[in-house]
Structure 1
Amino acid sequence: MDHHKVVEQALVHIEDNLQQPLSLDSVADAFHMSKFYFHRLFSAMMGCSLSQYILKRRLNASLPLIHNKTMSLTNIAYELGFGTQASFTRAFKRQYGVPPKSLRAEQAVITPEPIPAVVQRPVKNVNGDIVTDFTQTELGTLRVSGIAFEVDLAGDYKARIRTHAQMLFNHMDDTADDPCYVIYSNCEPHSTRFKVLFGIPREVQIDLPYYFTVDVPQLFCAKFKYTGDILDIGDVLKTDYARFLKITRQETEDSHIELIQVFDDVQHLDAAYHIYAPIKKLPIDSEI
């Protein structure tokens, strides 16, 4: 069974039927699956329950209807299955932080979002729950050289990371086939600012102040495999990591390194990659 394809098709089915009654039973039946298995699969792949997802997409679908001003808020609520305008308004405000009337009065601007992509990663069954596949492994010491900079997750960090990554590529031979390491470390506890090193395990000459060489100590890590842009899967990764910690009863390691993204070939950053997240090493008889 192609789990990703099933969930992708389910997202399209949901989008096409937002004005119809939707339930776990009806969606699972549409794909000839047990509702219990489909619930576990959907939650694992999307990082939220089916009901939470349907609610978000109905609120998303309400945005153009509010902008058009051809339907009353009450009719929009009935159209999308909220029952009453009050329940619609409460859900809308929880999701977007403002009531729908603010949008209609053009006091706020909210852009509808397309159907989200299903992040590609292997899954497995652990104690009756479907979770992202993981291993626990030692990541040996290594020296990485490349571009170092800071990003603020509360700002336009995606463009900043891509710009600095291009700086590294501009100083490399096109035939280079080194593995690529993207190392993220928190500037301060509970801060949205992160230090990022984008580099390879050999020396690359780059003009200061961007060039740095970092010695990464040996780390015991949870290891995950993904396909896709890490800048676009952040929320999914957080959910996967939280589920991993719960299932394995692990704890995060007290390390300045938050996670390391590893590509096999610096020339192919559109390929699958591994994420290493430092964790505390439990006694052997306690490990999954």
Structure 2
Amino acid sequence: MNQKMQESVIKSLLDWIEKNLHHPLSVDYVASKAGYSKWHLQRIFKEHTGMTLGDYTRGRRLSESATILKITKRDIYDIALEYGFDSQPHFSRAFKKQFGVTPRAFRKSETLDTKKFFAPIKYKKELSLEADIVTLEPMLLVGKRKEIPSKVGENEYFDFNSRMKIWDDHFINLRDKPTKLIGLVEYISSRSSRQEYAFQYTAATAPSDANNPVNNEELITIEKGKYVKFHYDGAMDGMQDFLYNIYSVYLPKNKMIRRKGEDIEIYKPLMSSVKNHDINCQYFIPIL
């Protein structure tokens, strides 16, 4: 098998693994699906990625299960079975080996430590994200929170259609020329289902830009804190991949710890450009 063909096989295999993380994904199983001998597949996988096939699939399954632990109230036993572990003790041992804590302790922590997450390999595709570490001063905002339930696997929290519906309602309470528009993002367990999570979004502005905040909205205080800051300038449909790459690739690769708090979006120019499917946004994630 020549080099180009090997690269094609590994790329297809990486894509297939991401779509099948709920399966046991043993080396024998993956090799049989790929149509190659176990020995041959393991050899070319390590040659092209720098890690063994078994380590990669196990690391990705545990990383995905860690996300589910954080954003849902799903039973740990159910999560273990869903990600191919034959028992909760087996899952807990593997989880503690990778993350250094038990699944229960990981769930209870107020931070999200991404240092031990396995980022999905974007084969032959460099991630072009630039970021700065900044400190934001306190902000007083006026806004209205809305909780959007979503099923796991449906990336509602990266979808801008949901945001636009909330902003449409918020525009009713704005003066003609607000100085800036700010979105606050938080991922929480769903109140209605142990199996789901919720995407809580707040459309906010400075108090001077809102009409009747007491009757329609609430005052929100953002405390001074440390953030990693990103910038996106482009089409609305590209924002979803941008946010996914931040959380699934950039934070783990840079071993960052997300602290308690909300992500902050600051739009410039104003939302009128977003309605024309063009986004210029600064995106801040709270970190330690």
TM-score category (smaller protein): 0.3 to 0.5
Which structure has more helix as a fraction of its residues?
Answer: 2
**Looking at both structures, which has the greater relative contact order when contacts are Cα pairs under 8 Å and sequence separation is at least 6?**
2
When normalised by structure 1's length, the TM-score is 0.47
